[in-house]
Every structure is written in C-alpha cells, then in structure tokens.
Amino acid sequence: MIDPSTPVLVGVGQASERIDDPGYRALSAVELGAEAAREALRDSGAGAAAARAVDVVAAVRQFEVSTPFSHAPLGRSDNYPRSVAARIGADPAHAILEVTGGQSPQHLVTELAGRIAAGEWEVALLVGGEAISTARHLSGRDDAPDHAESVGGRLEDRGYGLAGVATRAELAHGLTTPAHRYALMENARRARLGRTGAEYAAEMGALFAPFSEVAAGNPHAAAPLARTAAELATPDDRNRPIADPYTRYLVARDQVNQGAAVLMCSVAAARRLGVADDRWVFLHGACDLRERDLLDRPDLSATPASAAAVRTALDRAGIGLDDLSTLDLYSCFPIAVWGPCDALGLDPADPRGLTLTGGLPFFGGPGNDYSTHAIAETVQRCRAAPGTFGLVGANGGIASKYSAGVYSTTPVPWRAHDDATRQAELDAVPAVPRAEHPDGPATVESWTVIHGTDGRTGVVVGRLDADGRRFLARVPDGDPETMDLLAGDPAGAPVYVRSSGRGNRVTTSRERMDSLCPRRPAGFRAGGYEHVRVHRDGHVLEVTIDRPDARNALHPPANDELDEVFDAYFADDDLWVAILTGAGDAAFSAGNDLRWTASGKPMWVPTNGFAGLTARPRMHKPVIAAVNGYALGGGCEIAMACHLAVADESASFGLTEVRVGLVAGAGGTARLPRIVGRRLATEMILTGRRLSAAEALEAGLVNRVAGAGKALEEARALAGEILEGSPTSVRLSLRMMDEADAIPGTADAAAHPSGALDELMLAADTIEGVTAFAEKRAPVWRGY
C-alpha cells in the first residue's frame, strides 16, 4: 500500500493567447497563470476544494523580474504567487518566487514533492505565466492595459540566482545575451566534429524541423507552423542572423503569452479531496546539477551536468533511456539538445521525438516557465498510456543548471535523495586556466559573429600558444580580414591577441594588431591632460587629479590618463619619486564617479587598475599619496596602492562601497586587512566606517599626518628624504619587499636569494655610495 505522504501530481493546466487571435484579451502574466491554475484544478477533478486546500503557491520567476535590469512596461504584481492565488480562491500560508532559470519548474516539482513527503505541506501549486508578447505589442500605447498589482502578503523571494550566468568579462567583450554565449558552445561543437558552416547549419535545421512539426499541432504554440530543415537553416529577411551559427528560427522565441500550472499533493490529500487515482502521476526520479562557469569548462562543446542529471534521474527511477516513452529536452538552442544527446548516446532522430510541446523556438520560450508546459504535457501522456515513463530535462542559464525528472502513473514510494555526491564529481574536474589580460600568439578555440543593428561584432575564445591558457577577445573595429576568418572555418587558426583596459582584441597577426591597436608609447603628452595635472620638479613627479567638481572621483577617461601618466613615470629613469594628490582641499578622491556609472555610458578600467595603480603588477619606484580631504571607496584603494601616504589632519579614509551596493573591487578587500589588521578592516569594509587622519595614522594606514592644507608639503618633504638615499637601492628594496610578500613564512622570505642583490653589486650607485662615505662627502646618485 502506498504511503499516505507520497507526493503525486494530480492536475495540470496551460493557457495562452496570441495577439492576432480572434478575441485577444491582452491578459497579464498573472491572468495567464491564473487561467492555467484554474485548468489544473479542473484537471484534478477537485476544483474549488483543492484551491482552498493549497498550502503553498510556488511561482516560476517572470522575465520582468529576472534580472536587476528587467523592466515591466505594463506594470507587474508585487507578489505574483499571491496574485494568482487570489484569483483562484486560494489563501496559501506560503508563497515562493523561485530564482531565474529554465531549470526552475522541474526543480520546484522536485522540491515540493520532497517537502510534501516530509509532511511540511499537503497541497502545493506550481504556476508560471508570461505576457511578453503583449507587453511589447501594447507598450507605449494610450490604450495599454495596466498590469500593476499590489497584493502584499508574505513572500519568500529567492532572488535572481544569476551566479555564473554572465561575467563582467563576457559583457565587456560583447556577449550580452544568451544567444551570444550559446553560439560559442555551438561553434566549439562544430569544431570538434569537423563540420563546415554549411554542414553544421543543415544539421541544426534537421534537428529542429521535427520540433516545428510538433508545434504546428499544439494549440498553445506561439509559432504553430511546420518548417523544413532548409527553411530553418537558411538566412533571409525573416530568418535573420542572430549570432553565428544561429538564425532567428533556431533560437528560443520569447515573444509569447503563455501560462502553465501543476497541482501536487500527498496521496492522503488526494484521497481526501476526491482526486481519482487515474489522475495521479508520480515523480520516480529527479536530479538537479550545476555546470561550472562557461569559460572554466574543459570542453565548451559539452554539457556534462545535463547528462549526469538525466542519468541520475533514470537510475533513481530504476529504468534506462530505452524504457522512456516520451522525452522533452529543453531546446532554447540546438546545443542545449545536442549536449545531453551526445553524452547519453541519444540519436537526435530518435523516433520517440525529443519534444512534446514543439520546443522553445516554435512552441515558445515563456521566460523561465517553459518546462512547466513540458511537465504538463508529460503528465497527460503518462495518463494516456498508464505505466509508461516520461522524461523532462530542464535547462537554465548558459547550460549552467540542469534539472531532470522521470514521471509515470506507476505508484512508487518517495525516495529522498542528495545530489551532493554527483555535484562533487562534476566540480572535481579542474577548470581551464584563464588569461584575463592575454598578450601574444594564440589559436582559435571557438568564435561567433554577433549581428546587431549597428553592425557585426566578432568574438573569439582562444588559447595562448605560450601556456595554453584560455582567453576571450573581440575583433577590433575596422578589421575585415579577421571577420573574414571567422566567417569561414577558423577553428585552430593562428591569431594574435592583445589586452587593454577596454578589453582584449584579437587579429590575424601581430603586424595587423600593431596597425589596428598600437601600444601607447610611454611618455608624457606634450599638450597636457584633460583630467590630470602633472608637474616635474627634478627627480620628483607631482600628479594631481583635477576633477574638483566631482570630488576628484574617477571616470574611465580620467583613469586612462592616470594610467598613461604612471606608465610614463615608471618608464622615465630620471624620475625617482612620484606624489599623487587631488585638486582642492575637499577630497583626495571620492573613488568611482557614480554619476558616470549611472548614466549608462561605457565603463572600463585600465589593465593596471584604478588610477593606473591598484592592479599594476610592478611598481618599482615609490609613489606617495598626499591625501587632502577624504579618500573614500576607490580613493582609499588608490591611497593604499601607493607605497606611502601622508594625510592632511582633516582627511578621512573609508571603503564605503557597501553603502551604495558595491564592493571594494580595486584591491581594497585584499590590502586593507594587511595594512590595518583583519578585525578593523572587516569592520570598515562591512560597515563603511571612516577613519580620521589620526586614527589612520594609529592603524598604520598612513605614514604621517600634516597640518591643515599641508599634506602636499609634507609629501614633498618625505620625497626629499627618499631622494637622499640611492634611487637604485630604493628600487631594489621595493623589489625585494615584493618578492618577500609572495613567500609565506618570515624565515623563508628572509632567506630568499633575490637577484636584486646581484644587480646591486654591479650598480654605479653602490660604488658611489661606498666611495662617498669613505671620502666623507655627499653622494651624487646616478639612478643606475
């Protein structure tokens, strides 16, 4: 006899409308979800009684709240699950809004089943809905409906859950949409198989043509039109290129109005509500696994987490792949289908078919909610053929998260499971070493050409010839030769890559790189700078951040100028000490210019970091910070990156990024604990606490405190003291300190045989220093 706590799926429902349908109602995402929920209640046979018994409504996250930058042009509910619940007569004790990702429907079914089995809940409703097509169609019109709702009530909002979906490097190199990133995976697979572009396009068309045929017979499909493989693979005015190798017909269609719902309960609740047992479908096996970040994956063409999730779900169900009667594999892009097929040995032309709905390009990709529709279809097929098994494979992110479920009407007791062991096996595979700032000869590993309204952008994933590290780079503007390479068969082709603050660039040769992206020659601009003032006084360089109206906060152009100035300083053998200060007496620097950031203008930071200092790998000559006023956020990080700091008595220091939702990402979280100790640093970083000049002196954050308005004067005095010593000795001492910092343990660091000592032995300044001492005169340093 089945345990009364065993979870079962007892009702499923779907809803949809197209803007060109007769009777189009412009339903909101809530209304579409509610219609699907009502259908699920009717499907269960329990109707209103089941609605009143619902303990929890778990909602798939809508696109309009899926990222921090999402927008709801027609308005949205502030509590989606409770908005749906109110429309169906439910008053659940719990409401959940799941994280972003196409894996979320299957993940939620698995979670809800486990919590029902554990006795936490008896009746649960999973629901999702999207009105993306309506929002685009009616946005900005005078007669546009208002979909905004404020229902209040408790909500467990699980957040975006976007970790690993996109990185700053990917965005900086033009990979701004999932299609761009999946295209890299797709072309890596093409390269692995040795296909030409035409051959691979034909295979993508052949894969998805049967999907379109299924969609053509689905009343809920957004694009119910069967297309041939040639139609899908051939670009034209309607089937425009998106990102090579993708055309529009080969990618998920998000312009949809669709909703889906699943009603779940315990066996005991099903009996109490009068749900006939021919409505019951059991979750026989499930698994949730994550993939590592895209550029860390050993094989860009593979999705091992998807295959492992499917295998594990099948193992837990006690069946094999051949025992399945139906399959629905997430199909946002061809690679999302091919990934598990390749690893499982599943023929894409399997007569069972790989979709029940028609797939995301043709049925539609309703945000994160597609697999709720797949589950609904699977439940119906299982009921129609009792005892058979159906598989749902749900994919999220950039093949980042995969949830698999195996369903059947055959009763089975719930078996709690833990995916940690399987996940640990995936995580144990070493990540590919990466070069964030690559330079030199390389080969193409994968690529795409992004087709935008303002032209084409070429993006390459490559491997450095020197050490095999992987990098990401863009083709420079005005480089038809490299774009032509990417339009052919570029896998394994030799290229040349160069890094800069604005990102990495890749061309066909070093000569071409020198022509298109020449390195900036070291030296000071003859005409001066817009945001920085420089003054040379003998062997001392004074650098002033000249943006007093912005409290000397730095934006990308100012950062570039400072980077150029310090490149010139470190390259000039006749400059021995630099002083950095801010214009006026209010601020040394307020850090990052948030007004620029908020404006949406392009953001970049030089390779050498904020102010050209915070990430500079070798600062072999001293830089003194003359802190006048406050040094906050990035300003404090700049001061810490300098070798020495002098503060005006009115100065203040702080890493205040947490107060504006940021973090001290320019080295502050690494440097501050080393300078002031972990306890104080932790308090400053987590609370934004500021230190006065006196407190900074006591904590070791500054070397000296000067009187009001005297910071620069005191910094000059400190520079003068440094100039009394040998500049060669100063330079080599800094080098030895850097070497020691990289060696754990004081004794080992002290015993490190530095090559600096050999250089010192042969330096002219060494001879001059010893000779001057013997002759009782002041030395005349040469700097070498």
Residues identified as active-site:
637, 657
Q: 119 — phi, psi (to 5°)? A: 85, 5
Enter the tokens of residue 243.
Answer: 């990102």
Question: What is the β-pairing status of strands 389-396 and 326-329?
Answer: parallel
How many CA atoms lie within 13 Å of 4's alpha carbon, on the beta-carbon side?
Answer: 7
Enter the tokens of residue 529.
Answer: 């700078």
Contact 766, 779 (CB under 8 A): no
Burial environment of residue 28 by CB neighbours within 10 A (0 to 12, 13 to 18, 19 or more): buried
Helix 304-317 to helix 334-344 angle, to the nearest 10 degrees? 60
Enter the tokens of residue 280.
Answer: 């019951």
Enter the tokens of residue 668.
Answer: 């502050």
Enter the tokens of residue 257.
Answer: 């109005």
Tally of CB atoms within 10 A around 68: 8
Pairwise CA distance, residues 521 & 546, whole Å? 23
What burial letters (b/e) apply to 211-226, b meaning 16+ CB within 10 Å?
Answer: bbbbbbebebbbbbeb
Pairwise CA distance, residues 560 & 554, whole Å? 10
Enter the tokens of residue 59.
Answer: 């909602």
E-strand spans in 295-436? Answer: 326-329, 389-396, 401-408
Enter the tokens of residue 606.
Answer: 């030089």
E-strand spans in 666-720? Answer: 691-692, 704-706
Angle at 221 between CA 218 and CA 223, to 5 degrees: 120
Contact 1, 264 (CB under 8 A): no
Pairwise CA distance, residues 164 & 103, whole Å? 14
Tally of CB atoms within 10 A around 255: 18
- Identify which of 105, 155, 39, 85 has the alpha carbon closest to the alpha carbon of residue 367: 105
Q: Any idea which residue has 């339903």 for tokens?
A: 27
Hey, what amino acid is at 7? P
What torsion, rounded to 10 degrees, do the Cα atoms 328, 334, 336, 338 define? 80
Contacts of 48 (CB under 8 A, 6+ apart): 41, 89
